[in-house]
């Protein structure tokens, strides 16, 4: 398994953000991670990417425990958080070179990889612009490029199309589909069409608990459409 989450719990004071959740993701799968605001999606992703410690339970990436070997895990994961953190005063190509160097790329290998990502992410015309001058859609492309710079095996994207216009959403969706051919992709979103277009499988979390985990086909077979599926699993309290 590319990602294994085992009995994961996260407690903030009196709040149980995650309540003993378990799931796994196979290599090459595209999984939509859904849930209402505050359900525990971002918390799960932050633990899986080593940015938060769990209260209990464990997460394994490519067989490596995220708490015991966080540096090794970071080499295997590309992460785009919900609030895309970029150095706005840097130029696009400069920023990608910087991120690549953090992952140990040097010289010709770094230049080649930056050129590949600039082309793959549709940033050729923008590569010599400061990031602060880019639209939100292009900033998201830069965020995806930095998440991919070290060629990770697992890609975790938290609301990658949040706040984008319809055309930008379609462009980012195509990009995610293109880069997912040889990677495991887990992403959260509130856009059901996006899930149906991209995902092999859906995991729904509500109030810190997994309430559904199934293929798109199985979920749709008895529930009509994904909007109805989502409402049916999140409109009632979790016991």
pLDDT tens readout for residues 136-192:
889 999 999 999 999 999 999 998 887 788 888 888 888 888 887 788 999 998 888
Instruction: For residue 87, tell me if it sits in a domain.
Output: yes
Q: pLDDT at position 236, please? A: 59
Instruction: For residue 239, tell me if it sits in a domain.
Output: no
pLDDT over threshold 70, residue 238? no
- Domain carrying residue 222: 3-234
pLDDT over threshold 80, residue 235? no
Q: pLDDT at position 226, please? A: 82
Instruction: Tell me the mean pLDDT in the region 58-80.
Output: 96
Q: Which CATH number does the domain housing residue 172 bear?
A: 3.40.50.300
Q: pLDDT at position 223, please? A: 67
Instruction: For residue 160, tell me if it sits in a domain.
Output: yes
Domain tally for the chain? Answer: 1
Contacts 24+ apart (CB under 8 A), 42-47: 42/81, 42/82, 42/158, 42/188, 43/10, 43/17, 43/18, 44/5, 44/8, 44/18, 44/205, 45/79, 45/81, 45/156, 45/158, 45/186, 45/188, 46/81, 47/8, 47/10, 47/18
pLDDT tens figures, 17-36: 999 999 999 988 999 999 99
Instruction: Tell me the mean pLDDT in the region 80-94.
Output: 94
Distance from the first to the final alpha carbon of the chain: 29
Band the pLDDT of 3: cuts 50, 70, 90: very high
Instruction: For residue 208, tell me if it sits in a domain.
Output: yes
For a pLDDT cut of 90, what percent of the chain falls above it?
A: 68
Instruction: Tell me the mean pLDDT in the region 32-43.
Output: 92
Instruction: For residue 130, tell me if it sits in a domain.
Output: yes
Helix (H) or strand (E) holding 25: strand 15-25
Instruction: Tell me the mean pLDDT in the region 193-208.
Output: 90
Band the pLDDT of 230: cuts 50, 70, 90: confident
pLDDT over threshold 70, residue 239? no
Q: How far apart are CA 175 and CA 190, in angstroms?
A: 18
């Amino acid at each position: 398994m590319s990602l294994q989450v085992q009995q994961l719990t996260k407690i903030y004071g009196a709040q149980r953000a995650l309540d003993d959740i378990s799931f796994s993701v196979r290599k090459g799968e595209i999984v939509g991670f859904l849930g209402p605001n505050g359900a525990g999606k971002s918390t799960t992703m932050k633990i899986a990417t080593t940015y938060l410690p769990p209260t209990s339970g464990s997460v394994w990436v490519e067989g490596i425990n995220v708490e015991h070997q966080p540096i090794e895990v970071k080499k295997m994961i590309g992460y785009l958080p919900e609030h895309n953190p970029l150095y706005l005063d840097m130029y696009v190509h400069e920023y990608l070179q910087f991120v690549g160097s953090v992952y140990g790329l040097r010289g010709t290998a770094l230049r080649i990889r930056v050129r590949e990502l600039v082309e793959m992410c549709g940033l050729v015309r923008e590569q010599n612009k400061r990031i602060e001058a880019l639209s939100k859609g292009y900033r998201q492309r830069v965020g995806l490029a930095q998440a991919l710079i070290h060629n990770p095996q697992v890609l975790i994207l938290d609301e990658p199309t949040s706040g984008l216009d319809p055309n930008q959403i379609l462009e980012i969706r195509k990009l995610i589909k293109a880069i997912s051919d040889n990677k495991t992709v887990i992403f959260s979103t509130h856009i059901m069409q996006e899930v149906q277009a991209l995902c092999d499988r859906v995991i729904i979390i509500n109030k810190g608990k997994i309430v559904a985990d199934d293929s798109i086909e199985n979920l749709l077979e008895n529930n009509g459409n994904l909007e109805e599926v989502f409402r049916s699993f999140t409109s009632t309290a979790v016991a």
